[in-house]
Amino acid sequence: MIVLTRLNESTFAVNPDLIERVQSSPDTSIVLVDGTQFIVRESLEEVIDLIAGYRARVLALAQSMSVEREPRRTARLGVVDGEKPRTRKEAR
């Protein structure tokens, strides 16, 4: 979520993935995919920087999570023959 400021100084958070477009003429307006529109105090460039920072944090978090996690062990498939399951190697 990014935090933006309305013209009346109140702040709100919006999910940048729901932003369809940002336009400036002269006030900056945010248009969401559902058509909702907000006029904000931040400039077009500031909104773009906030969105870029949000996306960078998401990618950094995802990267740190994949590095911290143990390597995934793949499941081994085998053929059941009688009472004892066999691995692929044993089945050859």
In tens, the pLDDT along 57-88 reads 999 998 888 765 656 666 666 666 666 655 55
Q: Is residue 76 part of a domain?
A: no
Q: Is residue 60 part of a domain?
A: yes
> In the chain, how many domains are there?
1
The DSSP code for 41 is: S
Q: Is residue 6 part of a domain?
A: yes
Q: Is residue 92 part of a domain?
A: no
The pTM assigned to this predicted structure is 0.69
Residue for token pair 């793949």: 74
Mean pLDDT estimate for the chain: 86
* Burial readout 30-47 (b: 16 or more C-beta within 10 A, e: otherwise): beeeeeeebebebeeeeb
User: Which range marks the domain in which residue 25 is found?
Assistant: 2-70
Runs of H (alpha helix) within 1-92 = 44-68, 88-91
In tens, the pLDDT along 5-59 reads 999 999 999 999 999 999 999 999 999 999 999 999 999 999 999 999 999 999 9
The DSSP code for 37 is: E
The DSSP code for 78 is: E
| Confidence (pLDDT) at 66 | 73
Q: Is residue 81 part of a domain?
A: no
| Confidence (pLDDT) at 91 | 56
Q: Is residue 37 part of a domain?
A: yes
